[in-house]
Structure 1
């Protein structure tokens, strides 16, 4: 069965199988023929916090909007639903974000459709519409109630990031596990509790992919020992290139490959370039007085810091990682475990420092161009741009 799933997605990871006609040669043909999947975009948060409408032209305000997604050749988007650990009534807030997506879909039936299965997804892509799915970023959002997973699945959630930076009572995060005094789970340990393992099994049963981006190393290994389905890292990068707690070490990458899962590379400059963290720290210290004054006015700390990047544009540009590092992270995974285990999870509109050149969703073709220049053939490019995550999605159904 697993072989049949892999074989099936060799043919559906592009809009028309290259075996059926002379293969495309130009950049535009290869990019447009691929089914381009991005597993992580936070634009829904902007609809909640800033009142943006994503079917409007938001150029210069966000990384994304509906028309620019199509302009960049995007076919499938997992929309992230997020709140931090301090959010009151996070389940209610998560549902409000999903409501905002549903409203966009109702207004734009010729452009975007929510899908429940890979079969539906492929039909929507063939109609030249964006197939929409949801990723819940942080297990705290279903408030320790395993029964809410059924409702989330029915609303279109197809992966859940077990933790955000904050731990839950049943799983510890990378942020906490990397600290000496970080929060432990309800059993006073790192990793998954028995409830956490039940949640993983429930997700496996429903068809919700288990996402290990943001989780701690012990939680990761507990997931590997518990899951019966392939897992994903929806927006993570390579620790060896950039040693950040959010990134994956070689043994973790190998374990995901052995599990049949996939790692979707994050565009955040601080996760792909090891020199960025210190430069970014200096930038925030330089503007600390201004940030603190905004906080005193009741502005969310994340929003206060984000405003500095927008205000001091020239300084921000100097912080950004070079574009080639995105491709270096992709290629590192390919050389370590093979081309079947890597994809794209941009984190657009959830980050303030995308790499140079990757300014917004219209720049996706630069990735295809770089892969061509590094010698990858069409079949492998189709896998990287979307085929690999489609295989894992199908395997979880």
Structure 2
């Protein structure tokens, strides 16, 4: 079975929410869960060897994608989140990840060698990723502590503004050039991540923020879960110019399975087919090259194609790639190799 290392999931958010409701996150991950995209059974059935596990502080005021008569929508930006509350939730979700590791249900990986070892042993390989840096102060206090706890990837913003920069709204049709970019604190955060060897994720940032990072960072540009704006003109997707910049730096873009970012009409419909997913991969391969395209499912965080359903359905996407003419070597690159390559470059201390 084809092994897959995935660029983005919201497993920790789901498990933390379950814990808030009185459920045991260890049991929720270890046993089959009918509503989850990822549990150990589904991961094993689908070849999901691991991925970037996002720590995300939810916004309670977002109502995504209510289209007008033309099918267009503009979701107002979520309100900023106070640092203290964000830190509390971030620590709580990091604690869930640590508990899973202590229970021997997964391995928290801080080096490519650790990922490869876990994959070889059939252990779920998890990267701790923060999606939106609200837990940090402007002086970046807390970053070193989170790094010591295993943090190796961070998106400065989610689709809301914070002290580090501006996020893109959920909007269709819309350019990703939807507001200002990084603040001075955001520029300092990017430099600090470069120094530590923390990957900077550009999936939720405005286009101006993308170019700010491109000017500052000396690491490859990475968007863990974004698609092609040329096919689906939602603000969350990347223009061909952005994809070219990712190619120029030896970076990677991970295909987002969220149907609203896949469909040409930008709508949330689960009957979106695998052929649509392949169309985005084809376009991104044309723009970035086979070395720069990977998978970033957004499992447990988005409506995904019903044909995939969960991590157990990943072999259907692999078969779609094979039928589309991708070789075994190509599929190894898309399914895991390109993530390992870019992490080997970015995690300099690993």
Same fold at TM > 0.5: yes
Unmatched tracts of structure 1, length 5 or more: 1-27, 281-317
1:230 Cα deviation after fit: 0.8
Distance 2:188 2:334 in 1: 32
- Once the two structures are superposed, residues 69-94 of structure 1 have per-residue CA deviations (whole angstroms, 9 ceiling, x without a partner) of 12211112211100134466101210
CA contact (8 A) 1:45 1:81 kept: yes
- Once the two structures are superposed, residues 30-51 of structure 1 have per-residue CA deviations (whole angstroms, 9 ceiling, x without a partner) of x1xx4x2112111211222223
- Could you say if the C-alpha distance between residues 319 and 116 of structure 1 is closer, same or farther in structure 2, counting changes exceeding 3 Å? closer
Cross-structure match for 1:343 = 294
| SS, match of residue 157 in structure 2 | coil
| SS, match of residue 38 in structure 1 | strand
- Once the two structures are superposed, residues 293-329 of structure 1 have per-residue CA deviations (whole angstroms, 9 ceiling, x without a partner) of xxxxxxxxxxxxxxxxxxxxxxxxx553222111111
Distance 2:172 2:45 in 1: 40
Number of equivalences: 316
1:246 Cα deviation after fit: 0.3
Cross-structure match for 2:102 = 106
1:337 Cα deviation after fit: 2.6
Is structure 2 residue 209 aligned with structure 1 residue 206? no
Is structure 2 residue 6 aligned with structure 1 residue 38? yes
1:68 Cα deviation after fit: 1.6
Is structure 2 residue 131 aligned with structure 1 residue 132? no
Distance 2:6 2:330 in 1: 17
Cross-structure match for 1:69 = 43
1:391 Cα deviation after fit: 0.8
CA contact (8 A) 1:177 1:190 kept: no
Is structure 2 residue 332 aligned with structure 1 residue 358? no
Cross-structure match for 2:18 = 50
1:149 Cα deviation after fit: 1.5
1:58 Cα deviation after fit: 4.3
Instruction: Name the TM-score, length of structure 1 as normaliser.
Output: 0.75
Is structure 2 residue 173 aligned with structure 1 residue 170? no
| SS, match of residue 135 in structure 1 | strand
Distance 1:56 1:62 in 2: 12
Which range is displaced more, 254-263 or 68-77? 68-77
Distance 2:31 2:139 in 1: 38
- Counting helix residues as a fraction of each chain, which structure ranks higher? 1
- Once the two structures are superposed, residues 319-347 of structure 1 have per-residue CA deviations (whole angstroms, 9 ceiling, x without a partner) of 53222111111111112231011101100
Is structure 2 residue 223 aligned with structure 1 residue 233? yes
CA contact (8 A) 1:272 1:329 kept: yes
| SS, match of residue 344 in structure 2 | helix
Is structure 2 residue 332 aligned with structure 1 residue 382? yes
1:252 Cα deviation after fit: 0.2
Is structure 2 residue 320 aligned with structure 1 residue 370? yes
Distance 2:169 2:204 in 1: 7
> Is the radius of gyration larger for structure 1 or structure 2?
1
Cross-structure match for 2:34 = 60
Cross-structure match for 2:112 = 118
- Could you say if the C-alpha distance between residues 210 and 136 of structure 1 is closer, same or farther in structure 2, counting changes exceeding 3 Å? same
Distance 2:37 2:92 in 1: 21
CA RMSD of aligned residues (A): 2.2
Instruction: Name the TM-score, length of structure 2 as normaliser.
Output: 0.85
Unmatched tracts of structure 2, length 5 or more: 60-79
CA contact (8 A) 2:173 2:234 kept: no
1:179 Cα deviation after fit: 12
- Once the two structures are superposed, residues 49-71 of structure 1 have per-residue CA deviations (whole angstroms, 9 ceiling, x without a partner) of 22353334343221111222122
1:161 Cα deviation after fit: 1.0
Is structure 2 residue 244 aligned with structure 1 residue 270? no
CA contact (8 A) 2:228 2:280 kept: yes
- Could you say if the C-alpha distance between residues 249 and 69 of structure 1 is closer, same or farther in structure 2, counting changes exceeding 3 Å? same
